[in-house]
């Protein structure tokens, strides 16, 4: 029996991360394509199309990458399960803040599954597009992608589909994540979910989950005739941002008749004019969150949401060129995997800074900040020589320059010293366990 060949290497940190998922792919070429897509997604390519990624990783064409999305026999569900179990292993029982959101992307025509004219958050208005409900975790300042599910409009349902509202989808996601072992110290969501009392809020309350959610300014509640809505005097507080900077904000508690377990707040930058883009009504059932923390805790949703848009744009979330949702779902799940790969470089998961990293940090463009986008910037610097060499190899077939090739080979070897400590340790433990 002929032994299957080993998968072609890329960069060490990508190979070691992707090795965690290797058993999922029965075909070597599919596993290689899986790794290549991770390289392409974290690269500086403006559009993460399959032809562009193929050129960046040194392939003659994109057929292998397309095969991975369309015909290769691997399971999206299994990939997500393996990724979530990896995150759970790293969290080691610690609770996270959960952000429920939705992401929408414009798509022309009606050939793409579940596309219709609907509200697209990225553009702030109704457009033709596709929308997915997403769940992300915040852990010690780092974002971890958890799950997503496409919203299926009633008009675009297929045979066997069941219509679910976005709050229903979000509630099911939360139940599933809890069943896997995730623990949530707080749930954050916008007014679409805050105004869904039956399908979302009651689910959170039944699961005994603390929440801070946005509500509409005209939020209503039935009150006895002898009770009325009152607002407490404005109080200034200092809003602390993720980078440590602070700004003055204002809050006022809105009381519907009398104070209850669930409390209501109006948060703004200007109590006189109440600017639309910096004023929000929130509802909370969190007795553990102090009065001074309410603005900061809900404010985490805003910067996470902004960071998520940047992150998904950087990885090519909307750059798929397929129309069948099963294939779109594969693309999205690989984006979530690439997102996770970057997040695992966070200080929250790594106690050491290897000497090789300290040497690479001498690069004048090395980003010493520790946010997700800063980590991505550094990973892009590490993959840059490998991608550049793949692009230049075509010219080296025209002009033979041995010294040039040798120089690139040596530079890429230096890049191979860079790795993710936590993933390296997990792989070593798995190898030792399997050989015992």
Distance CA 379, CA 341 (A): 10
Question: What tokens were used for 69?
Answer: 């999305």
Q: Note whether 242 and 224 are within 8 A (CB).
A: no
Give backbone dihedrals phi and psi of 207, rounded to 5 degrees, phi first: -90, 0
Find, among 240, 238, 236, 229, the residue nearest to 252 by Cα: 236
pLDDT given at position 122: 77
Better-predicted residue by pLDDT, 158 or 436: 158
Each residue's pLDDT tens digit, 72-114: 999 999 999 999 999 999 999 999 999 999 999 999 888 999 9
pLDDT beyond 80 at 241: no
303-308 CB contacts, 8 Å cutoff, 24+ apart: 303/241, 303/242, 304/99, 304/136, 304/138, 304/143, 304/188, 305/99, 305/101, 307/143, 307/371, 307/372, 307/373, 308/99, 308/101, 308/103, 308/134, 308/136, 308/143
Burial of residue 320 (number of CB atoms within 10 Å: 0-12, 13-18, 19+): buried
**What's the confidence (pLDDT) of residue 243?**
67
- Look at residue 209 and give its three-state secondary structure: coil
pLDDT bucket at 36, cuts 50 / 70 / 90? very high
Sort strands 142-150 and 263-268 into parallel, antiparallel or unpaired.
unpaired
For residue 225, pLDDT over 60 is answered with: yes
137 SS3 class: strand
What pLDDT sits at residue 301?
80
Number of neighbouring beta carbons within 10 Å of residue 234: 12
Lowest mean pLDDT among 39-53, 216-230, 344-358: 216-230
Given this model, what pLDDT does residue 353 score?
A: 78
> pLDDT for 306-334, tens place per residue?
777 778 889 999 999 999 999 999 999 99
| Alpha carbon 350 to its chain's center | 20
* pTM score, whole prediction: 0.94
Given a cut of 60, whether residue 139 has pLDDT beyond it is yes
Predicted confidence (pLDDT) per residue in 272-310, tens digit: 999 988 899 999 998 777 766 787 888 778 767 777 777
Please give the pLDDT value at position 436: 53
Q: Which of 124, 257, 285, 142 shows the shortest CA–CA distance to 200?
A: 285
Q: From 39, 51, 41, select the one nearest 9 (Cα to Cα).
A: 39
Structure tokens of 391? Answer: 């692009």
What kind and span of H or E run contains 144? Answer: strand 142-150
pLDDT tens digits, one per residue of 185-215: 999 999 999 999 999 999 999 999 999 999 9
Considering the chain, what is the average pLDDT of its residues?
A: 92
pLDDT band at 434 (very low <50, low <70, confident <90, very high): low
Residue range 401-432, pLDDT digits in tens: 999 999 999 999 999 999 999 999 999 888 87
Return the closest-CA partner of residue 118 out of 108, 129, 107. Answer: 129
Give pLDDT, residue 408. Answer: 93
What's the pLDDT tens digit per position in 254-263?
A: 998 888 889 9
Find all residues with CB under 8 Å of 226, minimum gap 6, and list them. none
Query: CA 12 to CA 126: how far, in whole Å?
Result: 43
């Amino acid at each position: 029996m002929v032994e299957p060949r080993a998968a072609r290497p890329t960069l060490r940190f990508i190979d070691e991360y992707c090795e965690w998922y290797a058993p999922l792919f029965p075909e070597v070429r599919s596993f290689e394509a899986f790794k290549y897509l991770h390289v392409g997604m974290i690269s500086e390519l403006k559009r993460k199309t399959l032809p562009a990624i193929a050129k960046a990783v040194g392939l003659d064409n994109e057929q292998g990458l397309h095969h991975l999305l369309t015909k290769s026999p691997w399971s999206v569900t299994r990939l997500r399960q393996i990724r979530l179990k990896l995150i759970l292993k790293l969290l080691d029982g610690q609770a996270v803040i959960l952000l429920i959101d939705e992401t929408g992307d414009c798509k022309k025509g009606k050939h793409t599954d579940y596309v219709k004219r609907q509200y697209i958050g990225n553009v702030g208005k109704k457009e033709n597009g596709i929308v997915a409900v997403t769940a992300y975790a915040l852990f010690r300042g780092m974002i971890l992608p958890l799950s997503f599910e496409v919203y299926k409009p009633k008009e675009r349902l297929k045979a066997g589909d069941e219509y679910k509202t976005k709050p229903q989808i979000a509630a099911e996601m939360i139940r599933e994540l809890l069943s896997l072992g995730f623990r949530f110290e707080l749930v954050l969501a916008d007014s679409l979910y805050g105004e869904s009392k039956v399908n979302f809020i009651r689910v959170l309350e039944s699961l005994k989950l603390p929440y801070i959610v946005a509500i509409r300014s005209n939020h209503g509640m039935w009150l006895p005739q002898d009770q009325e809505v009152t607002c407490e005097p404005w109080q200034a507080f200092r809003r602390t941002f993720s980078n440590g900077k602070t700004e003055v904000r204002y809050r006022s508690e809105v009381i519907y008749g009398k104070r209850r377990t669930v409390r209501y707040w109006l948060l703004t930058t200007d109590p006189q004019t109440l600017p639309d883009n910096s004023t929000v009504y929130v509802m909370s059932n969190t007795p553990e969150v102090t009065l001074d923390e309410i603005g900061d805790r809900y404010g985490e949703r805003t910067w996470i949401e902004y960071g998520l848009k940047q992150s998904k744009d950087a990885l090519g979330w909307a750059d798929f060129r397929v129309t069948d949702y099963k294939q779109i779902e594969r693309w999205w799940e690989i984006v979530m995997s690439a997102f996770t790969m970057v997040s695992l470089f966070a200080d929250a998961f790594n106690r050491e800074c290897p000497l090789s990293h300290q040497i690479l940090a001498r690069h004048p463009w090395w980003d010493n900040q520790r946010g997700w986008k800063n980590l991505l910037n550094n990973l892009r610097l590490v993959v840059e020589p490998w991608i550049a060499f793949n692009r230049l190899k075509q010219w080296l077939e025209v002009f033979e320059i041995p010294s040039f090739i040798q120089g690139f080979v040596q530079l890429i070897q230096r890049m191979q010293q860079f790795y993710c400590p936590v993933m390296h340790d997990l792989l070593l433990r798995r190898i030792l366990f399997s050989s015992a």
